[in-house]
Amino acid sequence: METSKRRSRMRRISSGKCVELTERDIELFKLLDRYRYLRSTFLYAFLGGRSETRFKERLGHLYHDGRYLNRPEQQWELVNCRYRPVVYELDAKGEQVLRERGLMNGNSPLLTKGRTGAYRQFAHQLMICECMASIELGVREDPNLHFISWQEILTKAPERTRSAHNPFELPVSISYSCPRTGRVCQADINMVPDGLFGLEYTRDGQKAYRFFALEADRNTVPVRRSDLGQTSYFRKILGYRQIVTQNIHKTHLGIPKLLILTVTTNEVHMANIMALVRELASEGKSKLFLFKTMDNVGPAAHVLLQPWRRVGYEAVSISKSENW
């Protein structure tokens, strides 16, 4: 035990311990197959146990000795990384265990390794995972709520969507007429949400549903660009508005209603995006886009429970089934 406490957080140092897998280990692997990156605090919040310290020791054994888990090295470049809970992901050996048991999720394109890209994308991908996981954890605390994962959404989507290379890629044509110059810009783009989930609300024996696209914005791209062919939040706003106006979410994904959640890292950036929504929206008001600011997402349910701000309307909690 003392050996494990002295081992490096940043590189593997085996103690020669033989690791025999338990059912909770398998549940851990399945969780990291759904959410590529999660900190130890999130993993413990999902899986529990009598001792969080013992749980973290088990994660260490699965990393150092079993080599079933990996600690992505990109995390050591983040601010205060040495003082924050360790981020884990499945290693190849863990994936092989799931594959041999027929438990490997073969179709979760929102969070697969192929979409993560270079080092600069790690913080963004981690933010997506932690926002989604925090919402799912919050739902588990409310018996009147059910979390509908992107995998569940896909199973009920039209067959042509399920068989697509990237089922969550939403093709849409956008245009914008500049009020100052009258110049019209057009572009055909493919919108891929950072995250996608639904909530099933049960109230007085009746069920209601809402579905959400999540955008985790770390202020790494401009809020606005004149060229619609280049990435910007301006382009995202136009794209999502067209998706909802043309009911592409219904025809492509089979979901009845879509709202857009934007999580940003600071108030100023959020205010700039909200100002752009106000400029583009009819009468300066929009119920389509909801906003929240958070820099350090934890496993607590505040992402679900605390109000999300809207442009021209009062803030709402997405955990409530009331007609807002």
pLDDT category of residue 118 using cuts at 50, 70 and 90: very low
pLDDT of 226-255, one tens digit each?
788 888 999 999 999 999 999 999 999 999
> Is residue 8 classed exposed, middle or buried when 0-12, 13-18 and 19+ CB atoms within 10 A define those classes?
exposed
In single-letter form, the type of residue at position 281 comes to: A
**Which run of H or E residues covers position 234?**
helix 233-245
- Which of 1-10, 153-162, 165-174 is predicted least confidently? 1-10
- Kindly report the number of other CB atoms within 10 A of residue 203's CB atom: 11
pLDDT of 290-324, one tens digit each?
999 876 667 876 788 889 999 999 999 999 988 77
Please name the residue that has the structure tokens 């770390």: 218
- Which of 48-52, 63-67, 255-259, 297-301 is predicted least confidently? 297-301
Mean pLDDT to the nearest integer, 126-148: 93
Domains for the chain: give ranges and CATH numbers. Answer: 1-106 (1.10.10), 112-324 (no CATH)
- Phi, psi (degrees; rounded to nearest 5) at 73: -70, -20
Mean pLDDT to the nearest integer, 272-282: 94
Report d(CA 26, CA 162) in Å as an integer: 27
Report d(CA 306, CA 90) in Å as an integer: 31
In single-letter form, the type of residue at position 274 comes to: M
Q: Is the pTM of this model over 0.85?
A: yes
Q: Are 58 and 4 in contact (CB under 8 A)?
A: no
The per-residue pLDDT of the chain, averaged, comes to: 88
Q: What percent of the chain is modeled with pLDDT above 90? A: 65
